[in-house]
Structure 1
Amino acid sequence: MEMRERNEETKPTRSLIFSYGTLKRGFANHVLMQDLFSANDAVFLGAYSTVADLPLVCGPHGVPFLLNLPGSGRHRIRGELYAVSPRGLARIDELEGITLGHYERLPIQLRAERGVKGDCFGGGGAVVEAEAYYAHRSFAEEMWQRKGKVGFGEYTATEAGEYVRRNARPKERSFLEEIRLFVSSPSSSSS
């Protein structure tokens, strides 16, 4: 899950982070990754997919959540792999609300997408150990139930069309309160 920069044992390790949602290229929060690239705190490594089938759903405000419920999903999740410095990781952790109980960063196994140039981990479908931001365990199962146990394999422009940026969300409740309301409300075909 961590890698040392080549020939420089004194440099800090970089964490391998799998992004499946709004941090991907072309999506709402990718500006953070661009800032990290500029500061040499992140490097794009390529397109990857999960080894396991996992549930990926959208919650309140169209926010994507990967659910740590192996065997529940029907899709290998497609996303992007980044090598991130400790400073960059702290910034992503903050965005993902790690200390607020929104997400938790946990191990994940990945493989490079077929035909992807720049597979830096041996090619040929080698398994890569990384980390991903999963919906916090305190609501993951409820989120899966709320979504009718139906997910998708890739966060695309279709799902992103439902995304509401943070500055446009209601201010009277925390995001965790919004999640609790969302999972406790009856499901509908539009959610």
Structure 2
Amino acid sequence: MENLINGGDAVLVGEYTTVEAFPLVCGPYGIPYLINIRGAGHRVQGEMYKVNGSGLGQLDDLEGIEIGHYERLPVNVVGDCGENVASEAYFAHRSFGEGMWKMCGQVGLEEFTMELSKKYERKEDRPPNRDYLQDIRNFISNGH
């Protein structure tokens, strides 16, 4: 996001919370996943950004939309002032989202905290030549 902001493609709007509850879990490499199961989990807190078309394309590439890592879906969020805003969020792809939720014991997080982010492994620090979707399937079936 820092690169998008510095390039003029995104602006931080503020802290928002989902109107509905959704599961938020951490998967392989400490990566957070919002799961599209409405009413499960918690109302999830996070940052909202206003992103232009160029920035959105870059985010879609980063989040692996075309290769089935995430899906960008509509979600309603509410800010500190109580305003309800129609937005979009990146959810775990439907092919594995529910399985990841079950693997995590159907216990979700309210937000991806700075403490949790310390467990996140940047892409360049992960083992090379890995099939990330296979890593997710292994995580779901083996718990790691």
TM-score bucket (shorter structure): over 0.9
TM-score (norm: length of structure 1): 0.72
CA deviation after TM superposition for structure 1 residue 161, in Å: 2.0
Q: 1:3-25 deviations in whole A, cap 9, x for unaligned?
A: xxxxxxxxxxxxxxxxxxxxxxx
Is 1:42 aligned with 2:37?
no
Question: What is the TM-score with the length of structure 2 in the denominator?
Answer: 0.95
Q: Identify the residue that residue 164 of structure 1 maps to in structure 2.
A: 121
Identity across matched positions, percent:
48
Structure having the higher strand fraction is: 2
Show the counterpart of 1:148.
105
Deviations 1:2-50 (A, max 9, x none): xxxxxxxxxxxxxxxxxxxxxxxxxxxxxxx222122221111111000
Identify unmatched segments of 5+ residues in structure 2.
Answer: none
Match of 1:117 in 2: none
Q: What is the RMSD of the two structures over their aligned residues, measured on CA atoms?
A: 1.2
Q: How many angstroms apart in 1 are the aligned matches of 2:128 and 2:72?
A: 26
Report the AA paired with residue 38 of structure 1.
N
Q: Which runs of 5+ in 1 are unaligned?
A: 1-32, 114-122
Paired AA for residue 74 in structure 2: P
Structure-to-structure mapping, 1:72-111, within 5 angstroms: 72-73=40-41, 75-111=42-78
Distance (whole Å) between structure 1 residues aligned to residue 124 and residue 109 of structure 2: 26
Number of equivalences: 144
**Against the structure 1 CA distance between its residues 38 and 157, is the aligned structure 2 distance closer, same or farther, given a 3 Å change threshold?**
closer
1:70 maps to 38
Does the residue aligned with 1:145 lie in a helix, a strand or coil? helix
Q: Deviations over 1:52-95 (max 9, x none)?
A: 1110000000000000001121x110101111010000000111
Instruction: State the Cα distance separating 1:112 from its structure 2 match.
Output: 0.4
2 CA distance for matches of 1:34 and 1:64? 18
1:3 maps to which residue?
A: none
Structure 1 ranges of 4+ moved more than 4 A = none
Structure 2 counterpart of 1:173, one-letter code = R
How many angstroms apart in 2 are the aligned matches of 1:109 and 1:36? 23
CA displacement 1:116-155 (0-9 Å, x = unmatched): xxxxxxx4x1210000000000001100010000111011
Q: Matched residues in 1 for 2:78 and 2:110: separation?
A: 14
Distance 1:39 1:163 in 2: 25
